[in-house]
Amino acid sequence: MLPENITAVVSRNERWRGEAASEPYEAGWAREAIFFVRALKQPVGPIATAWVEVSPDGMHWLREGTEFPMPKERDAVAMARLAHFGNWLRVAARFDSGAECTVLVTLHLKA
Amino acid sequence: MKNQTPDQTGDLTEAMRLALLRADPALSRFDPLPRILSFDNFARGHCGWSQLVGNYEDDLDTMLPGYAQHTSAMLSTLAHWDAGSHGGMDSSYALKIATRPVAGARNVAIKRHTFRKRGPIRFEIYFTFKPEANTLKLSETDVRSVGLLFDLQGGDQDGNNDRVMPHLRFLNALDGQHLQKWQYKRETERITPIGTDNKTISHYHLSPEGWVDLPGGSQRLCYNEIPTKVNWTYLCFDFDLATMTALGLRCNDRSFDLSGFDSIRIPAMKNLWCMLNFGLFAETDVAKRAFLYVDSICISGDF
């Protein structure tokens, strides 16, 4: 049987400002993951830094260590590759006051 | 060998079918009709259960807000902070449909087929539901409901035709009241044109309004004693595509009279002929995620 893989849309057309994060996603069956973050609209203000978070329970979150700049313009795509993450995954970002980005966050998992 | 009458041959065929089903550990807990359309065991992946995405044109902002909140279902071992992975009935995995942590939030997973013949369809699942276990409380009224829907339309040569959408939910709680009853729905929201090309419309058929109690539909399910203990529950919904009427609802040891049941009915749409869609959803009553877990699903028909 072919190894399982899935594309999950975890945030679609969400306007991220201030403290933002994608909804928790369980991916314990997967050996590898990539988050893609696409700006659906022209970002406003300084470009924020995003990072990947892991969790023991889907409720308590800590940084996995991977960071990346949010996309700089409309339709630009940022990504983070992961190979060791346990079960729970999400992307988080912090925006300066007045800054924002409308995002499409997809998670690509492979067994 | 003696000649057998057609009735005797039919009886023997059915007896053999049942014997094979009952000897199969994967299917034995189901009562499928003669043809199995799909058998979903979530240790084999998502099995075609995808996110119900709303319609749009040109800009995602045209998507109705009810749909915009939906996210992708996931494969879960029901991992809990206090007891670890609960697991499914005979594998580690279940399909998990999670709402956002906003009172009244909802999420829907959908499986999209078409049908070959208008006849009886049976939808059987083993499911359970829980809120996110972020408080050390029983939290039995935090999940508002879990439910299922079909989205159906006859063939293009069938003449007068409706799009028919049977909806059923187990209303666990509403505004903190523990109600525990089955409900159905006959009305959708108004149909909204999407975009400017006159090709796409949308209507949010899962709005909170319009749910009606199923007569005799009260049922106390097994919830267990803390928010991280779960028990799998059997549900079977029978629907006839020929008459577009519901035939039966069974949940564990209870069988419900559906003579008062009706579906949402709207005019047929120009791109949906022979549509046979199945949806599963969860709703939260409080600002806490609600989770619908599905161990396995068997969809069968008589054709």
Write the pLDDT tens digit of every residue in B231-281: 999 999 999 999 999 999 999 999 999 999 999 999 999 899 999 999 999
What are residue A102's DSSP bridge partners? A15
Instruction: Using CB atoms, pick whichever of B63, B79, B100 lies closest to residue A87.
Output: B79
Residues 6 or more apart whose CB falls under 8 angstroms from that of B163 comprise B151, B152, B153, B265, B266, B267, B268, B269, B272, B275
User: Which residues on A lie below 8 Å from B109 (Cβ)?
Assistant: none
Alpha-carbon torsion (A20, A22, A23, A25), positive or negative? negative
Q: What's residue B223's pLDDT? A: 93
Residue extents of the structural domains in chain A: 5-105
Task: Name the residue of chain A whose CA is nearest to B100's CA.
Answer: A23
Sort out which chain A residues have CB atoms less than 8 A from B79's CB and list them.
Answer: 26, 28, 57-58, 87
**Among A33-37, A96-100, B63-67, B117-121, the least confident range:** B63-67
Q: What's the pLDDT score for residue B259?
A: 94
DSSP annotation of A24: P
pLDDT value for B179: 98
- Chain B hits for A29, CB-CB cut-off 8 Å, are 75, 93
CA dihedral B101, B127, B142, A26 (to 10 degrees): -30
Model confidence pLDDT, tens digit, residues A27-66 = 999 999 999 999 999 999 999 999 999 999 999 999 999 9
Cβ B300 vs Cβ B119: under 8 Å: no
For testing the chain B interface, which of A4, A57, A74, A75 should be mutated: the one with the most B CBs within 10 Å? A57
Residues of A with CB under 8 A from a CB of B: 1, 4, 6, 8-13, 23-29, 40, 56-59, 87
Coil, strand or helix at A71: coil
User: Closest residue of A to B228, CA-based?
Assistant: A57
CA distance A9 to chain B (A): 6
Percent of chain A's residues with pLDDT above 70: 100
d(C-alpha B241, C-alpha B238), whole Å: 10
Kindly determine whether residue B72 and residue A40, on different chains, have CB atoms separated by under 8 Å.
Answer: no
Picking from A81, A74, A82, A83, the residue whose alpha carbon sits closest to that of residue A104 is A74
Of A4, A24, A56, the CB nearest to B45: A4
| Residue B74: φ, ψ to 5° | -135, 165
pLDDT of residue B9: 86
User: CA B29 from chain center: how many Å?
Assistant: 18
CA separation for the pair B57, B298 (Å, rounded): 35
Asked if pLDDT for residue B75 goes beyond 90, the answer is: yes
Which CATH number does the domain B31-301 belong to among 3.20.20.140, 3.30.420.310, 3.50.50.60, 2.60.120.200? Answer: 2.60.120.200
Mutate to test the interface with B, among A7, A10, A25, A109 (most CBs of B within 10 A): A25
User: Pick from A11, A24, A29: which is nearest to B93 by CB?
Assistant: A29
Q: What is the 3-state secondary structure (H, E, C) of chain B?
A: CCCCCHHHHHHHHHHHHHHHHHHCCCCCCCCCCCEEEEEEEHHHCCCCCEECCCCCECEHHHCCHHHHCCCCCEEECCEECCCEECCCCCCCCEEEEECCCCCCCEEEEEEEEECCCCCEEEEEEEEEEEECCCCCCCCCCCEEEEEEEEEEECCCCCCCCEEEECEEEEEEEECCEEEEEEEEECCCCCCEEECCCCCEEECCCCCCCCEEEEEEEECCCCCCCCCCCCCCEEEEEEEECCCCEEEEEEECCEEECCCCCCCEEEECCCCCCCEEEEEEEEEECCCCCEEEEEEEEEEEECC
Distance CA A32, CA B159 (A): 51
Q: Which pLDDT tens digit goes with each residue over B193-241? A: 888 888 888 889 998 999 999 999 999 999 999 999 999 999 999 999 9
Pick from B219, B261, B216, B220: nearest CA to B238: B261
- Percent of chain B beyond pLDDT 70? 99
CATH architecture of the domain formed by A5-105: Sandwich (2.60)
CA distance B144 to chain A (A): 20
Closest chain A C-alpha to B205 CA, distance in angstroms: 20
Average of per-residue pLDDT values in chain B: 95
pLDDT for B2 equals 66
Question: Which pLDDT tens digit goes with each residue over B33-73?
Answer: 999 999 999 999 999 999 999 999 999 999 999 999 999 99
Q: How confident is the model at residue B103 (pLDDT cuts 50, 70, 90)?
A: very high
Q: What was the pLDDT predicted at B1?
A: 54
| Amino acid in the structure at residue B38 | S
Q: State the nearest Cα–Cα gap between B157 and chain A, in angstroms.
A: 36
pTM comes to 0.96
Q: How does strand B162-165 pair with strand B167-174?
A: unpaired
